[in-house]
């Protein structure tokens, strides 16, 4: 018995790791996030049990992983992005460890750099940015916006669309220039990707039409978005 | 003609993306970093030209990519980790763009979360850390250690082994507690991985025997390293 906590990557199914794909292709049970692409869910063997975790609470997921593993089944827990970057993979790992269930973490391509890359934005760039700060906008009240505003380099906000105005205003109030280049990228790396580039002070208005999942990027590197080409959606997986 | 800037991932060849592996397997020219695993270099077709970029300057690499692409060849530039996370991929992208050579960026699993994961450390964890700061220790004098020390959450330092004492001392001088849990992970995700866990104030002494490549992690999440299991090196790639 074993549980594999696998990162599915940022959206494009071609961005799962070779190891992760191999594990999906030979699992007995696939417990997947809603945002994981249909192509990857289809890669599980025809007889595999597929479980969309969407209607399950975190504790229920953990119990499910333990239960199926104890039946001697190969369980793959397929999570968007990387399991340990705002993925709650750590909680699942702790639960499995406490239950004595062996597990393995297979990292994934995190959205933090891949989604900006798909919009032509390198999160680091020689002479422009050599520091990246990653935060979650899920609970914007818990953010130390004063510290974040002072951090040099690039800022990446996960799940920041819902509180975008609050975050942008807070950063400006704490000293970030209102004309700092910024972007919101929705559905990054997917065919339906939409990118909005605007100065920080105008970002919330400019991004009004976008829907989650979305990533916010703030910093001088965003100015490179015009120069660099885009990620091309791969979609199909080689056999 | 086309150049693919492909991230090879953190070390374990199984952590390249499915798309990246597919591109390596059908390239005409493979220009690879020294740290990219031999297994991946071997995956290029038997007739492909393999070029170790180790003895080439950055400008020479860029010229090489342009030259081979203009001959109508499929060129894969295979870089450790992710091309846009301290990978100088942005510079190569700018050079290709300026030369009018079409290119595509295929992101990779960055070491920033995958290497800590391989040591049982989740860079974010509910209730412990919801912010990650990523810096390079390559030019430690350029680091704003005061700002970095004040940032809440987890700190990840790339290429920080050479200036580890200077960085640790600086963080403590600027307010980080000397007993903050910290780790250095050398050759992360590879069979020869070595991990040293120690309080920040003792980290430089504890890590004295380690050799690059190494990643430094500072923050309360490091305390989870004892609980969580390790990454298992995959090594072989499925056909």
Residues of A in contact with B93 (CB under 8 A): 122, 227-229
Residues A168 and A146 in one domain: yes
Q: In chain B, whose CA is at the least distance from the CA of A137?
A: B130
We report the CATH number of the domain holding residue B219 as 3.30.950.10
Residues of B in contact with A131 (CB under 8 A): 133-136, 144, 148
Give residue-wise pLDDT tens across range A121-146: 999 999 999 999 999 998 888 899 99
Residues B42 and B124 in one domain: no
Residues of B in contact with A105 (CB under 8 A): 117-118, 228-229, 231
> Is A229 a residue whose pLDDT tops 60?
no
Q: B interface mutation test: which of A23, A57, A89, A109 has the most B CBs within 10 A?
A: A109
Determine, yes or no, domain membership for A32. Answer: yes
Give residue-wise pLDDT tens across range B69-96: 999 999 999 999 999 999 899 999 999 9
Nearest chain A CA: its distance from B231 CA (Å): 6
Determine, yes or no, domain membership for B213. Answer: yes
Determine, yes or no, domain membership for A237. Answer: no
pLDDT band at B232 (very low <50, low <70, confident <90, very high): low
The number of distinct structural domains making up chain B is: 2
The pLDDT of residue B128: 95
pLDDT band at B226 (very low <50, low <70, confident <90, very high): confident
Query: How does the average pLDDT of chain A come out, rounded?
Result: 94
pLDDT band at B172 (very low <50, low <70, confident <90, very high): very high
CB contact under 8 A, B14 and A10: no
Residues B122 and B78 in one domain: no
Determine, yes or no, domain membership for B140. Answer: yes
User: Token match 């990650």: residue?
Assistant: B132
Residues B86 and B135 in one domain: no
3-state secondary structure of A113: helix
Residues of A in contact with B123 (CB under 8 A): 84-85
pLDDT band at B229 (very low <50, low <70, confident <90, very high): low
Residues A1, A72: contact at Cβ < 8 Å? Answer: yes
The pLDDT of residue A236: 64
d(CA A51, CA A29) in angstroms, rounded, equals 8
ipTM comes to 0.95
Determine, yes or no, domain membership for B237. Answer: no
* Residues A49, A15, A127, A229, CA torsion sign: negative
Which tokens belong to A147? 């510290």
CA dihedral A87, A92, A93, A99 (to 10 degrees): 180
Please count the residue pairs, one from chain A and one from chain B, whose beta carbons lie less than 8 angstroms apart: 219
User: For residue A186, what are the β-bridge partners?
Assistant: A194, A214
Edge-to-edge strands, sheet with A49-52: A49-52, A29-32, A74-79, A2-7, A103-106
Determine, yes or no, domain membership for A19. Answer: yes
Residues A204, A175: contact at Cβ < 8 Å? Answer: no
Nearest chain B CA: its distance from A205 CA (Å): 26
The pLDDT of residue B231: 58
Q: Which residues contact A63 (CB under 8 A, 6 or more apart)?
A: none
Mean local confidence (pLDDT), A59-86:
97
Give residue-wise pLDDT tens across range B133-146: 999 998 888 899 99
The pLDDT of residue A234: 65
Q: Which domain holds residue A28?
A: 2-106
We report the CATH number of the domain holding residue A15 as 3.40.1010.10
Residues B102 and B129 in one domain: no
Residues of A in contact with B229 (CB under 8 A): 93, 97, 102-105
* Closest partner CB to B86 (pick from A13, A16, A124): A124
Q: How far is CA A104 from CA A43, A68, B69, B199, B231, in A?
A: 20, 15, 40, 26, 6
Residues A30, A76: contact at Cβ < 8 Å? Answer: yes
The pLDDT of residue B121: 96
> Is B168 a residue whose pLDDT tops 60?
yes
Last residue of a domain, one of B87, B106, B125: B106
Q: A interface mutation test: which of B5, B7, B10, B19 has the most A CBs within 10 A?
A: B19
Give residue-wise pLDDT tens across range A165-201: 999 999 999 999 999 999 999 999 999 999 999 999 9
Mean local confidence (pLDDT), B14-37:
97
pLDDT band at B237 (very low <50, low <70, confident <90, very high): confident
* Residues B201, B205, B209, B213, CA torsion sign: positive
Angle at B64 between CA B62 and CA B68, to 5 degrees: 125
Last residue of a domain, one of A64, A91, A106: A106
Residues of A in contact with B234 (CB under 8 A): 19
Residues A140 and A221 in one domain: yes
d(CA A11, CA A21) in angstroms, rounded, equals 14
Which tokens belong to A211? 């829907």
The pLDDT of residue B1: 80
Nearest chain B CA: its distance from A108 CA (Å): 6
Determine, yes or no, domain membership for B236. Answer: no
d(CA B16, CA B164) in angstroms, rounded, equals 29
């Amino acid at each position: 018995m074993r549980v594999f906590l696998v990162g599915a990557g940022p959206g494009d199914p071609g961005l799962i790791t070779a190891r992760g794909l191999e594990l999906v292709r030979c699992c007995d049970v696939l417990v997947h996030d809603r945002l994981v692409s249909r192509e990857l869910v289809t890669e599980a063997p025809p007889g595999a049990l597929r479980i969309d975790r969407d209607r399950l609470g975190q504790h229920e997921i953990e119990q499910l992983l333990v239960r199926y593993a104890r039946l001697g089944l190969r369980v793959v827990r397929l999570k968007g992005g990387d399991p340990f970057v705002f993925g709650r993979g750590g909680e699942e790992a702790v639960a499995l460890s406490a239950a004595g269930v062996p597990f393995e973490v297979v990292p994934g391509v995190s959205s933090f750099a891949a989604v900006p890359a798909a919009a032509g934005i390198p999160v680091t760039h020689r002479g422009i940015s050599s520091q990246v700060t990653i935060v979650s906008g899920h609970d914007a009240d818990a953010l130390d916006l004063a510290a974040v505003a002072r951090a040099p380099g690039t800022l990446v906000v996960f799940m920041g669309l819902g509180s975008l105005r609050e975050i942008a205003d807070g950063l400006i109030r704490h000293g970030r220039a209102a004309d700092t280049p910024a972007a919101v990228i929705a559905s990054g790396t997917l065919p339906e990707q939409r990118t909005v580039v605007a100065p920080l002070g105008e970002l919330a208005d400019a991004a009004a039409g976008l829907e989650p999942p979305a990533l916010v990027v703030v910093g001088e590197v965003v100015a490179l978005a015009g120069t660099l080409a885009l990620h091309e959606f791969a979609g199909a997986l080689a056999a």
